[in-house]
Structure 1
C-alpha cells in the first residue's frame, strides 16, 4: 500500500444479505477503491482510497445502489507517527490509570518519547479504590451471605462474626500486588518516564509539575473522577463515607444508610448487608435504575428486597445531622417526613471529574457544566494538541472503555491514525447478586431511534441453571427490530450476568438476529442458555418445552 492510501469505514444501512454486500463491493470497486469489504451484519463497508476527495465519490456510489451511507471514518492512514524535536516529549500523559497506561504503551510502540505525570498513587481508580478492591470484598460478602442464608435444605452451615479488619488487610495486599504487577512494573518494561507531582498547564505547550516546566508536542488528560457530594443541609458537617473510605472501614457498622442507589450504591450496600449490617438505600428518583428497562428495575428491586435490604425511593432530602455515634437523615417521601438512623452514612451519588487543578483555561481546553473535559469523536479537546479520555470526560465510566479510548487517543495524538471512537456497543455490569448486565438499546431508546420494536421477557425461573441454583429472581430481556428481528439490546438480571453479556455484546455488535440465537447451541445448565431461551420466547412458551429442548 502506498503512503497515500487511506483506510476508510462507512456505516451502510439497508444491507440485509450477502447479495447486498456484493452490490456495495461492486459499486466501490467501480470508483477505484481497493481492498473493499462489506458486511451486512456489521452494517458497514471498508476500503482504501488514495485521496480524501475519493471518499465522497464512494458515498455517492453506495447511495446510487440504493443503500444509505453514513458518515465516513478514516480508520488508519498507515502513517508513521509525527515525531519532532520540539518539546521535551512527543506525548505527555497526565494521570496513571487504565486510559493513561493504554496510551503510554501504544505511544511507546509507535516510537514516541513519552512521559506520565501522577500526583498520587500509580494505577488510577480501578486497581486502587474501585473495581479490584470492591469486587474482592463483594466476593467475601457473597460467601458470608451464603453461609448464613443458603437456599439448600439439608445443609447445616453457619457464619460467625465478620473480622472486617482482616478482610480489608487482605484486600489491600491484593491491591498492592496488582498495582505493582499491572502498572508500576510496566513503566520500566516499556521505558517511558514517570514524573511524580501535580500537573498544571501554563500554556498550550507547557505544564508545570512542582516547579518544573515540561513541554510536549501533544498532551493526553486522563485524570479520572472523584466521589461527588450532593448539596444537602448538614451533610458536610457529618463524617460520611464515600466509595473510597467505605472500603477502608475496619469495623462493621450495625446500620448503614446509603444516599444514592446507582451501581456503586447498590454494590457497596449489598456488600455491607452480606457482611451483616442493616442497610437502607435512599434515592430521589421513583425507581432504582431509572434509565434501565422497567423489567430490569423491577427484578433488581425484588431481589434486594427479598434479601432484606430496605429501599426508599422518591425521597426529598431535608437535612442530615449527627447525635453522638448516630447519623440521622431527614427525608420526605410522598409528603410524609421520615428519619433514617444509622451508625455510618455512605454517600454514593455519582462522580465529578478531576479537572480543578489542571488550569485548563491556560491551554484553551473547554469544560462542560460538570467541569468535565469536552472532547469530540476523535477524543480531541477544544485545543487540537490536547486529547482526553476516561472518567474525566464523563463518558461511560468503565476501565475497559478508558483503556480502549487511551489507545485511540495516543494514535490520534501522534497522527498515526485519524480514528473515531465507537461506543455503540459498550456492555455494563453491576456486580450485585444477582448481577445486572446490559448492552445495546433499551426498549425506550430503540423506539426513540425510530425502530418498530419486538421484545422478549423471560423470567429467571424459566432458566434451568437458576432452578438448580435455587436462585430464581431475575430476568432476561431482548430488544429486537420487529422487521428484521436483528437484536438491538440485551438486558439481564441473573447470577453471572456479567459473563453472559459478552455473548450478548457480540450479538448486538455484529447484527445477529433472533433466529441466529435460536439456531445456536447453548450449553445446558449454564446461565448463558437464558439468551437462547429468551430468543425462543419471542414466539414460543418455553414452559411447554422439555428442559433441554431449547
Structure 2
C-alpha cells in the first residue's frame, strides 16, 4: 500500500514532532520552510536563548546580593559579547542535534525551501527565493507556521528602532535604561534579566503584571521587581512613541518616559495571513489563529494545525505534543490533546508556575471552591534558603476537596508545579495529596504543607511532620 504523504508548513517543534512520529508510522513527509534556518522560535530566538540569558542574569544578581551573612556581595563583571557567543554556540549546537541531524538521518523526511500557500485543499504552491514556483500535493497537511511578535497600535512606534524579544535575547550590550511595553511572560522575564545585567528598567503595564493570572501572582511579582529596583507603572499606556538623538520618548498617561532602548513585548500573532486559508475553508479565530479540535484537525478534515499558529496554548511542549498527536491521527490512529492539567512556568525569580484552574476561573465555570494560600515562610526549604518571597495557592472544589488548580510564586517554582499537575491529572483530593510522602527540605514539600492547611494550622506542625 502506498504510504501516506504528509506536507508540513514550518520546521519548528510542532513540525518536527509530527514528522518524526509520522515516518515512524510509515508515512513520507515533506517540510516546507520559508526562513533561513530550521528549528522555529524555541531553539533559535525563544526558549533556549532566553533561558540562557535569564540564568546568566540570575548568577550575576547572586554575586551582587545574596542573603547569607558570611558571603560578601560584589558587583559582577558582565562581558555581554562573550555571553552572546556562548549563548549562540549552544543554540547552534541544539539546532544541529535536534533538527538538522533528524533531516540528515531520516530519508523519509524531505525539506523544501520556500514560502507555501494553498492553491487548493490538496495542493500547495511554493515560491522559492530564486523566483521559481513548485507545486506540492499531499494526502494530509499540517500547518505549523508559528507566530511573530505583535506590534501595538502606538502612533510613531513603527518608525523607531524598537526591540522585539527576538532582538533583546541577542543584544550585545545592556542598555543604560530599558523601557518595556508589556506585562506578560516575555515582558517580565526580559525586564528582570536586563535589570540584573546592569540596566535601569521601567515596565509599562496596560493593567498590571500578569493580569490574566491569579491576582496574587502579579502582586507578588511586582513587589519582587520593585525590591530589585525595577520601576513598574501599572494602568499605563503609551499614546505616542518617538526616537530622537539615540533616545526613545514615550508619551503616557503616567507622564513622559525616556530610555535608550525600548522592548515591545505585547504578545505574538500567528503566521497565517498569507497561507490562503480562507479560500480553502480553514477557519481562523482572533488574530488569525487556526481553530483546531482535540484531534488537532481544522475545519477541513485532512488539514491539521499545531503550535503557536493554532488556538492551542502557546508553549513549545504543547506544540510538540500537538504535532505528535496530529501525526497519529493523520496515519489512522486516534489521539487527543487534553490541556486541562497543563503546567506553565514564567522564568522570573521568584518563578511563577500554574496548573489547572484559578479561583476566578473556577467561579466562571460555576464551581464553588475552597482555597488556601501558604506563605513561603512556612516552607522549610525557603527558610533554609533565606528566601521566603512568594506563596503556594491551592484551589479545591468545595465539598469534595478535589484539587482544581495550583498557583505558585517561589524560587524554582517551576520544579514544584509538575507534582501538582500529576495530582490534578489523577483527580486527587487535597487530603490525598496531604497524605503523600514528600522529601524534607525541598520546595515541592510546600505542596503537602499547603494541602495540610485544609485540615489545620501548619504552624503547629513539627518541622518535618507527616
TM-score normalised by length of structure 2: 0.96
**1:107 alignment partner, one of 22, 26, 29:** 22
The 1:362/1:84 distance shift into structure 2, 3 A limit, reads: farther
Q: Distance in 2 between matches of 1:316 and 1:94?
A: 36
Aligned to 2:261: 344
**2:236 alignment partner, one of 315, 319, 325:** 315
Cα deviation 1:427-473 (Å, max 9, x = unaligned)? 11000001010000000111222222111100111111111111111
Cα deviation 1:181-238 (Å, max 9, x = unaligned)? 0111012333211111211111111112221111111110000001000000110111
**1:536 alignment partner, one of 452, 458, 465:** 452
Aligned to 1:527: 443
Aligned to 1:247: 169
1:356 aligns to 2:278 (yes or no): no
Aligned to 2:227: 306
1:444 aligns to 2:366 (yes or no): no
Q: 1:239 offset after TM fit, Å?
A: 0.4
Aligned to 1:116: 31
Q: Spell out the pairing of 1:432-511 with structure 2 (5 A cutoff).
A: 432-511=348-427
**8 Å CA contact 1:302, 1:473 repeated in 2:** no
Q: Distance in 2 between matches of 1:138 and 1:359?
A: 38
Q: Distance in 2 between matches of 1:234 and 1:491?
A: 38
Q: 1:129 offset after TM fit, Å?
A: 0.5
Q: Which range is displaced more, 341-350 or 445-454? A: 445-454
Q: Distance in 2 between matches of 1:293 and 1:355?
A: 31
Aligned to 1:269: 191
Cα deviation 1:59-90 (Å, max 9, x = unaligned)? xxxxxxxxxxxxxxxxxxxxxxxx747xxx61
Unpaired segments ≥5 residues, structure 1: 1-82
Q: Distance in 2 between matches of 1:326 and 1:408?
A: 48
Aligned to 2:247: 326
Q: 1:546 offset after TM fit, Å?
A: 1.8
**8 Å CA contact 1:93, 1:116 repeated in 2:** yes
Aligned to 1:213: 135
Aligned to 1:19: none
Aligned to 2:83: 167
Q: 1:175 offset after TM fit, Å?
A: 0.1
- Give the SS at the match of 2:287: coil
Aligned to 1:518: 434
**8 Å CA contact 2:248, 2:260 repeated in 1:** yes
**8 Å CA contact 1:321, 1:328 repeated in 2:** yes
**8 Å CA contact 2:183, 2:211 repeated in 1:** no
**2:311 alignment partner, one of 382, 387, 394:** 394
Q: Distance in 2 between matches of 1:268 and 1:394?
A: 25
Q: Distance in 2 between matches of 1:357 and 1:84?
A: 31
- Give the SS at the match of 1:370: helix
**2:72 alignment partner, one of 156, 163, 176:** 156
Q: Distance in 2 between matches of 1:224 and 1:541?
A: 47
Q: Distance in 2 between matches of 1:249 and 1:421?
A: 37
- Give the SS at the match of 1:390: coil
Q: Distance in 2 between matches of 1:367 and 1:450?
A: 29
1:383 aligns to 2:300 (yes or no): yes
Aligned to 2:282: 365
Aligned to 2:326: 409
Q: Distance in 2 between matches of 1:198 and 1:135?
A: 30
Aligned to 1:95: 10
- Give the SS at the match of 2:308: helix
Q: Distance in 2 between matches of 1:452 and 1:248?
A: 47
Unpaired segments ≥5 residues, structure 2: none
Q: Distance in 2 between matches of 1:248 and 1:453?
A: 44
- Give the SS at the match of 1:488: strand
Q: Distance in 2 between matches of 1:366 and 1:545?
A: 56
- Give the SS at the match of 2:459: helix
Count of matched residue pairs: 459
**8 Å CA contact 1:282, 1:313 repeated in 2:** yes
Q: Distance in 1 between matches of 2:230 and 2:23?
A: 49
Q: 1:503 offset after TM fit, Å?
A: 0.2
**2:217 alignment partner, one of 296, 303, 327:** 296
TM-score normalised by length of structure 1: 0.81
The 1:362/1:294 distance shift into structure 2, 3 A limit, reads: closer
- Give the SS at the match of 2:428: coil
**8 Å CA contact 1:279, 1:310 repeated in 2:** yes
Cα deviation 1:4-59 (Å, max 9, x = unaligned)? xxxxxxxxxxxxxxxxxxxxxxxxxxxxxxxxxxxxxxxxxxxxxxxxxxxxxxxx
